[in-house]
Chains A and B, each alone.
Chain A
Amino acid sequence: MSAIRRPQCVVIGAGPAGLGAALAAREAGLSDVMLMERDFELGGILPQCIHDGFGSIVFDQVLTGPQYAQRFIERVEKAGIEVKLNTMVLEMRGDRRITAVNPRDGVFELEPASIVLSMGCRERTRHQVMIPGYRPAGVICAGAAQRDINIEGLMPGRRVVILGSGDIGLIMARRFTLEGAEVEGVYEIMDHPGGLTRNVVQCLHDYDIPLHLSHTVTFIHGRKRVEAVTVARVDEALRPIKETERRVPCDALVLSVGLIPENELSKQAGVELDPLTAGPVVDERMHTSVDGIFACGNVVSVFDLVDWVTQTAETAGRGAAEYVLEAGRRKRKPPVRVTAGRNVKFVVPQLLREFDREIDLFFRVEHPERAARTRVLVDGEELYSRKAKMVRPPEMIKAGADPGGARKVEDITVEVVGDEEEA
């Protein structure tokens, strides 16, 4: 094995987050940026997202997933970023030693000056939501089904029940329908849809696909291949009501029951994770608890919009570049923890260290609320305020705040207040 290479920045994962971060690091002045991707092509999940709805913020245009990815891929190719495809990181240590493998280079080691984590997320499976029954062929997560159909050209089901009304579930309801499969219905355990309103309208209503709220799947039938599922209404504690059970014949159960940031490597390196987001705790530069390791996109927290993934990626890429170029001359200041105030479940970034720039704060509410106002308070002073007709947990909210200079800040709180409280 040749001497260990020390790139200025290694970006792990070349989905929208990795692409954006690698470009930002390059554009912020790093000459030696390496982008690693375990798949055979760049783009991550985007190539399989052939529906539109991407890019309205970043490009002020409505693009498909592959189009959105292509814009970055072309820039990455021109920027002189070293791309390693079919490359799997086997190990990452807290001292930034990376061991990776691919068919061409074999197993190799790197000691980059900075790392950006952009591994994205994975889907929750049937067992993580504990669906009882048999284990036949035909139980598949929505994103995996999307890849089967849109990339591989293979149909994982013909008469389909979808559990969970997250965005991928909604989009796949439409996709199966357009492919001539029958979608019997979408079942959602909560009393509100899990995905964006626009997807409920465009993917279900427009195709007359029923959405059964407060319902779940209580049993999977079929020893070899899915033959049916039992569905039931749930009570307020989300427990299935036995008397409402109904057997629905189908040959596939498609699950859209949540996404989990993929942080196995982060854990190996000792990166501190936030139990609420299941992703690394980051500061305003997307710097994690481990020196020189940055993170962005869905590995930090599952975002609804790819545009926001790109924004966090650019922050992380710039942050990594600054870190490398300053070569540790700048000391990391002690952080202020952002407080999740009234009806706020979590905020990303969790920590703020410097207040010399405008800060993007991404957050989700805990429960739906009408006529609400989202606010950012810096030491009690309202620096951001926006009215919303409706806030819902599935729809992430972005707030900006510019603390205006490098003065000392003691407390930052993000909160949602009702209009009557305002009055």
Chain B
Amino acid sequence: MAYVNGQRPLPSRAGLVVVGGGVIGCSIAREATRFISDVVVIEKESDVACGTSKANNAEVHSGIGEDAGTLKQKLNVRGNQLYDEFVRGLGVELKRQGLLIVITQRTIPRDGGMPEEERMELLTRKIPEGIVAYGENAGIKGLRILTRDEVFRMEPNVTREAVAGVFDPTYGLISPYKLTIALAEHAVINGAKVFLNTEVTGFRVEGGAVRAVITDRGEIETPMVVNAAGVFADEVADMAGAGGFVIHPRKGATLLFDRQVTAEYVRSSVAEFRLPGQRTTQSKGGGAMPTAEGNLQLGPTAIETDDKYDTSISAEEIEEIFERFHYLLPDFPRDALISAFSGVRAPTLEEDFVIGASEAVRGFVNVAGIQSPGLASAPAIAEMVLGILHELGLSREPRPDFDPVRPAPPKFSELSNVERNRLIREDPRWGNVICRCETVTEMEVVNAVHSIIPATNMDAVKRRTRTGMGRCQGGFCHNRVAAILARELGIPVTEVTKDGEGSPVFLGVAKEFLGGAAR
């Protein structure tokens, strides 16, 4: 079970404490439970995957976009290769639908003074060949050059300015929060404990080694700590005296579009190839990619911010995204926009991953600076961190009782009618559609509330079931979901929150705000 809201006390000791319940923390925790069972994950938010893990573009990159020789590229390429095995048994689908890298006329502008023949030779032959050679050198398999016609056959709605393309078949999409939830639950199935709404406030370090993690709910003795605190990793490291790096938050905004419209316009993910000098920001440049569930995403932006909680999106960013991607997908309708979100990346000044045992504090492992391709690299990061933990003394003996399967609850919308009717006969709540846009039933919401990592608020239910993620954005279902949450949690509906403390959905009951006699 997960340990929410202090319902259960912290254990007095653990073999490993992971700070941060994002995709990286949960990956490491799950991998650690292959060897030991007393793993504890500490997460300050009301759910796992509440930071960058819920607000990225769901991409399992191949590694083609990374600079050669970086840790990022090495772990990305390796992570991508490990992914199918990594998600086996989790009940979360990785869709290896591929990435179409489009080379366009503006890759080398016409007015650059280059003879046209030479320019086209570069655009249609040398650049695609260069991309493929670069990728192959990094160990990426299956890269394929496409002619202009092949590009249009693959993606008929891409810009007519396309001149050639490279198809990267190992690129995939996975729901980052569903993955994180599944990893956390899988870890719990294998003995781990996940404490939500619990914040690390310090560490006990004695004789140059970490002895305990101090939280706002008490202390856990442990010989090993993994710092996977995302944008807060520098602060957490400093608490232990194991720091020395700085996270400078950089936010990225993404626009999200209607699934029905998306399906009419794009099949795979599409990115425009830009020469290094053409990148305007410290980001691979983003693209147009459907989410794992099929909503087109355009973005992300890359804006430096001094606020680690800055998940806002500005009018300028919205315009920038539309402008940038209008070129790539000129006919895509703006009014299919249903949502927008912003996540905060956690880069270090070096812009590379910082993964390693602290030299100052024995037993303390930093896993920091994880920005894109962090999701793609997660399996390889976990593998690398486990290697470090083994060096620090974590058992190398695989547990014979490790359970390889995390059962995933059924999703009504994905079932056949025969399967649906079997479930409805078992429990009629399977036949009660709560969310119209995404066809989510009452039973799925109930299951989410009672799952291993329980959903205790609207956003947590949404991440597990997709309630409110459709085109009406919860207009029709918010009160129904709130009522089910209240009923299942045994709380008044006025205590139901959007995403944890301080975010009540309702501020009172009718007549409550009337003064005097009316009360």
Which A positions have Cβ atoms within 8 angstroms of B? 1, 38, 86, 88, 90, 99, 101-107, 122-123, 125-128, 130, 132-137, 140-141, 143-144, 147-149, 151-158, 179-181, 218-219, 223-225, 240, 251-252, 264, 267
Contact = CB atoms under 8 A, between A and B. Distances in A.
Contact of A101 (B431, B502, B518): B431
A391 to B, nearest CB: 26
Contacts of B428: 103-104
A139 to B, nearest CB: 9
Contacts of B508: 154-155, 158
Contacts of B493: 152, 154
Interface in B293-332: 309, 311-315, 317-318
Contacts of A148: 479, 506
Interface in B335-381: 335, 337-341
A157 B347 CA distance: 38
B514 A156 contact: no
A128 B337 contact: yes
B510 A149 contact: yes
Given A153-B509, A155-B510, A122 B476 contact: yes
Contacts of B458: 137
B417 A107 contact: yes
Contacts of B260: 264, 267
Contacts of A107: 417, 420-421, 424, 431
B311 A103 contact: no
Nearest to A264: B260
B379 to A, nearest CB: 30
Given A128-B337, A132-B315, A106 B436 contact: no
A156 B431 contact: no
B504 interface: yes
Interface string B478-515: 11000100000000011001111111111111111111
B471 interface: yes
A181 B472 contact: no
B475 A123 contact: yes
A125 B472 contact: yes
B160 interface: no
Given A103-B428, A155-B509, A224 B312 contact: no
A251 B507 contact: yes
9 contacts: A86-B431, A90-B439, A125-B475, A132-B312, A134-B312, A144-B475, A155-B509, A180-B512, A219-B315
B313 A132 contact: yes
B433 interface: yes
Interface of B: 256, 260, 309, 311-315, 317-318, 335, 337-341, 417, 420-421, 424-425, 428-433, 436-437, 439, 458, 471-476, 478-479, 483, 493-494, 497-515, 518
A123 B425 contact: no
Given A103-B431, A125-B475, A155 B515 contact: no
B513 A224 contact: no
Contact of A158 (B256, B417, B476, B507): B507
Contacts of A219: 312, 314-315
Nearest to A137: B498
A310 B315 CA distance: 41
A141 B475 contact: yes
Given A106-B424, A180-B514, A144 B476 contact: yes
A141 B474 CA distance: 10
Given A122-B476, A152-B493, A153-B510, 19 more contacts: A88-B439, A101-B420, A101-B424, A104-B431, A106-B425, A123-B475, A125-B339, A125-B473, A132-B312, A132-B317, A133-B313, A141-B475, A144-B476, A149-B510, A157-B507, A180-B511, A219-B312, A225-B498, A240-B315
A128 B475 contact: no
A123 B421 contact: no
A136 B518 CA distance: 30
A154 B514 CA distance: 13
A90 B412 CA distance: 11
A59 B57 CA distance: 54
A155 B504 contact: no
A170 B337 CA distance: 26
A136 B311 CA distance: 10
Contacts of A1: 417, 421
A80 B394 CA distance: 73
Given A122-B472, A130-B337, A132-B318, A181 B504 contact: no
* List of 9 A-B pairs having minimum Cβ-Cβ separation, nearest first: A180-B513, A103-B428, A137-B498, A103-B431, A180-B514, A224-B502, A224-B503, A88-B433, A153-B510
Contacts of A224: 498-503
Contacts of A154: 479, 493-494, 506, 508-510
Contacts of B499: 137, 224
B498 A156 contact: no
B421 A106 contact: yes
A129 to B, nearest CB: 9
A155 B337 contact: no
Contacts of B494: 154
A38 B440 CA distance: 13
A145 B312 CA distance: 24
A178 to B, nearest CB: 9
Contact of B432 (A86, A181, A251): A86
Given A88-B439, A103-B428, A106-B425, A127 B503 contact: no
B475 A99 contact: no
A184 to B, nearest CB: 14
Contacts of A103: 424, 428-432
B337 A127 contact: yes
A285 B483 CA distance: 41
B507 A155 contact: yes
A122 B475 contact: yes
Nearest to B441: A101
A219 B318 CA distance: 12
Contacts of A155: 506-510, 512-513
Contact of B513 (A102, A128, A179): A179
Nearest to A39: B476
B507 A156 contact: yes
Given A125-B473, A154-B479, A267-B260, A137 B513 contact: no
Contacts of B417: 1, 99, 107
B315 A218 contact: yes
B316 to A, nearest CB: 8
